[in-house]
């Protein structure tokens, strides 16, 4: 209740984010440790629970990132469940890297009941958009390509060394 009376309810709105627990060293894949989550609420604990330096976020998790879909080179994600229930947890907001953009996986046709304000609940699978910002492209395309090239070169050198030993 406000001074203007009862306000109409607003449609709920949640943002999707990238999170990372540990910063990988150069030897690890650039997306190692990155997860996709949907933020439900950001809050602070009351002081009666002790002091906590940062606000917290209640998040719904998406399944871990796998290799990108080959022909479009985007990661496909869907909500994660545990014991047939949504996999959710509370994390410090310092674990959140940035927002991310999820694109519904449409298939051959668009589902007519999908709406922009409920799509995260209505669609089962999404593509993680690597083209939203320069940082997204740098992380999901450039750094991954550099890592893959280095790995391929290392594997090539190992094969050459093994072939050289086999010829002796």
What are the tens digits of pLDDT across the range 118-150?
889 889 999 999 999 999 999 999 998 999 999
Q: Measure the CA–CA gap between 129 and 124, rounded to whole angstroms.
A: 16
Q: Measure the CA–CA gap between 152 and 168, rounded to whole angstroms.
A: 25
What are the tens digits of pLDDT across the range 142-164?
998 999 999 999 999 999 888 87
Q: Measure the CA–CA gap between 77 and 101, rounded to whole angstroms.
A: 12
Question: Are the CB atoms for 37 and 80 separated by under 8 Å?
Answer: no
């Amino acid at each position: 209740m406000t001074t203007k009376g009862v306000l109409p309810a607003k449609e709920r709105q949640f943002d999707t984010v990238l999170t990372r627990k540990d910063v990988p060293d150069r030897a690890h894949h650039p997306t190692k440790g990155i997860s996709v989550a949907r933020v439900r609420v950001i809050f602070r604990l009351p002081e009666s629970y002790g002091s906590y330096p940062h606000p917290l976020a209640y998040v719904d998790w998406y399944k871990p990132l796998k290799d990108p879909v080959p022909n479009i080179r985007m990661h496909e994600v869907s909500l994660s469940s545990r014991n047939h229930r949504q996999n959710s947890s509370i994390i410090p907001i310092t674990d959140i890297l940035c927002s991310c953009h999820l694109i519904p996986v449409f298939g051959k046709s668009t589902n007519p009941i999908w709406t922009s304000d409920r799509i995260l609940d209505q669609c089962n699978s999404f593509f993680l958009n690597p083209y939203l910002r320069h940082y997204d492209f740098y992380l999901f395309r450039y750094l991954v390509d550099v890592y893959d090239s280095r790995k391929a070169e290392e594997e090539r050198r190992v094969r050459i060394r093994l072939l050289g030993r086999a010829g002796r």
